[in-house]
């Protein structure tokens, strides 16, 4: 609450009344100063008009309080706080809003200094009466608008959290609800028709309260947005099957292959920059509710299908396991491939030898050394494998089949 409104002299009252009756000049100077601030410079015309209206109201309340000796009314303060709430949705940073008040008060003070230059009798009154009240007035108003801004920001966060939860349910449980998906995505301020790619992240989170956990996930999502070249508000997050899920926007009309390669690079940079992220699975670009679910499923499969013990990159791409996935999902193909290794099951050293052979890039010398056996022993085992399977390990087709069979053997069911 604004207190200690000073009683001003008749001379200053007369000049203040003139300013209040025609505040255009001071308001325009305030407006021009604000439009150069960070957070204000690229606003839409409708938002600029709203800011001009807030300047008119603030300056008017200042002049009114001096002339009447009364603080702004409850209705006036409600109107004033509404501007603070709107700044949240207009995406003007709170820091910029508060700086605008400091600079606005400076412009009003300059106007009063000019009055003192014209009339020396006002100097003491301006310095010792008006300036303390000016600082008090704008400090209280700034606190009021900051409070309304933060309250609205909190309500918006809760509202967005509710929308995210609703979106999660649609994507994973009712993906045929196309209208619900569109309405929910657009309520979040996003384009429901734009394609997205999912990242599934194995993440280490210390024991936290629910609130602290959400804050930590928000922090990681913010860092992820920078590395994924997405605006923070354009990155959608969820917690699904024990993993942090991020849906990153893709450029409409771009190819799946290019998006896949670009996302792989960005995910690699993200994994290197954020130590809490252990591994990242990347799905393929898709769209719509069912597409959002499909790319998440692919990202999780990429993590599950790529063994952790291989010491490979922290990023697992679904595009790298497409052939294995096709075989795994086609029951007849899977049974055939599994049967190849079953034929070697009575001689376990043959399976171990074949596994090592592929791990060593099909180099026999390195494979023998890794197994700790003589190269002739390795050759014997390889010939035995070929004999049991009717295969040729020089044949590309057989190499592909056996490689996939071994990957299917390691992969979780």
Q: What is the pLDDT of residue 412?
A: 57
Q: What is the pLDDT of residue 323?
A: 73
Cα–Cα dist 71/3, whole Å: 8
What order do you get walking across the sheet with 243-249 strand by strand?
A: 236-240, 243-249, 196-203, 277-282, 315-317
Task: Decide: 12 and 125 in contact? Cβ < 8 Å.
Answer: yes
Q: Which residues of the chain have pLDDT under 70?
A: 1-3, 208, 307-312, 327-333, 411-413
Cα–Cα dist 202/277, whole Å: 6
Same CATH topology for 194-325 and 330-410?
Answer: no
Cα–Cα dist 405/409, whole Å: 6
Element (H, E) at 72: none
The tens digit of pLDDT for each residue in 180-192 reads 999 999 988 899 9
Q: What is the pLDDT of residue 109?
A: 94
Architecture of domain 330-410: Orthogonal Bundle (1.10)
Return phi, psi of residue 42, to 5°: -115, 30
Assigned token pair, 303: 């993590």
Q: Where are the alpha helices (DSSP H) in 119-209?
A: 123-125, 131-173, 178-187
Could you state, in order of their start, the residue ranges of all structural domains in the chain?
Answer: 10-156, 194-325, 330-410
Cα–Cα dist 105/57, whole Å: 13
Please report where in the chains the tokens 């600079």 appear, as a residue.
Answer: 103
Q: What is the pLDDT of residue 116?
A: 83
Which residues, listed in sequence order, are joined to residue 238 by a DSSP beta bridge?
A: 245
Task: Decide: 280 and 199 in contact? Cβ < 8 Å.
Answer: yes
The tens digit of pLDDT for each residue in 120-151 reads 889 999 999 999 999 999 999 999 999 999 99
Cα–Cα dist 107/88, whole Å: 25
Secondary structure class of 27 (helix, strand, coil): helix
Q: What is the pLDDT of residue 208?
A: 67
Q: DSSP code of 5?
A: P
CATH 3.40.50 fits 194-325, yes or no: no
Q: What is the pLDDT of residue 329?
A: 66
Q: What is the pLDDT of residue 312?
A: 59
Residues in the chain: 413
CATH 2.60.120 fits 10-156, yes or no: no
């Amino acid at each position: 609450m604004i207190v200690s409104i000073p009683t001003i002299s008749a001379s200053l009252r007369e000049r203040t009344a003139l300013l209040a009756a025609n505040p255009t000049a001071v308001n325009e100077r305030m407006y021009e100063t604000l439009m150069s601030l960070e957070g204000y410079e690229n606003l839409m015309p409708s938002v600029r008009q709203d800011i001009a209206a807030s300047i008119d109201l603030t300056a008017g309340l200042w002049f009114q309080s001096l002339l009447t000796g009364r603080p702004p009314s409850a209705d006036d303060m409600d109107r004033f706080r509404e501007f603070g709430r709107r700044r949240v949705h207009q995406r003007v940073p709170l820091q910029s809003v508060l700086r605008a008040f400091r600079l606005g008060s400076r412009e009003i003070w300059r106007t009063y200094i000019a009055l003192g230059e014209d009339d020396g009798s006002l100097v003491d009154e301006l310095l010792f009466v008006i300036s303390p009240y000016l600082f008090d007035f704008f400090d209280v108003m700034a606190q009021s608008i900051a409070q309304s801004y933060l309250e609205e920001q909190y309500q918006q966060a809760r509202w967005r959290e509710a929308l995210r939860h609703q979106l999660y349910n649609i994507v994973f449980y009712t993906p045929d609800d196309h209208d619900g998906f569109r309405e929910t995505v657009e309520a979040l301020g996003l384009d429901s028709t734009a394609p997205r790619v999912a990242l599934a992240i194995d993440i280490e989170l210390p024991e936290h309260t629910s609130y602290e956990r959400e804050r930590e996930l928000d922090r990681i999502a913010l860092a992820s947005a920078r590395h994924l070249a997405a605006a923070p508000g354009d990155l959608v997050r969820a917690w699904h099957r024990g993993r942090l899920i991020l849906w990153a926007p893709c450029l409409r009309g771009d190819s799946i292959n290019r998006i896949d390669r670009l996302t792989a690079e960005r995910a690699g940079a993200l994994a290197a920059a954020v130590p809490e992220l252990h591994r990242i699975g990347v799905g393929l670009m898709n769209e719509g509710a069912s597409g959002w679910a499909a790319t998440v499923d692919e990202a999780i499969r990429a993590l599950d299908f790529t063994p952790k013990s291989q010491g490979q990159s922290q990023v697992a791409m679904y595009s790298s396991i497409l052939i294995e996935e096709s075989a795994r999902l086609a029951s007849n193909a899977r049974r055939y491939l599994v049967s190849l290794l079953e034929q070697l099951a009575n001689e376990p050293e043959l399976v171990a030898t074949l596994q090592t052979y592929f791990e060593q890039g099909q180099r026999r010398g390195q494979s023998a050394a890794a197994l700790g056996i003589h190269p002739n022993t390795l050759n014997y085992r390889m010939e035995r494998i070929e004999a049991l399977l009717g295969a040729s390990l020089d044949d590309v087709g057989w190499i592909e089949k056996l490689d996939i069979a071994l990957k299917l053997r390691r992969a979780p069911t």
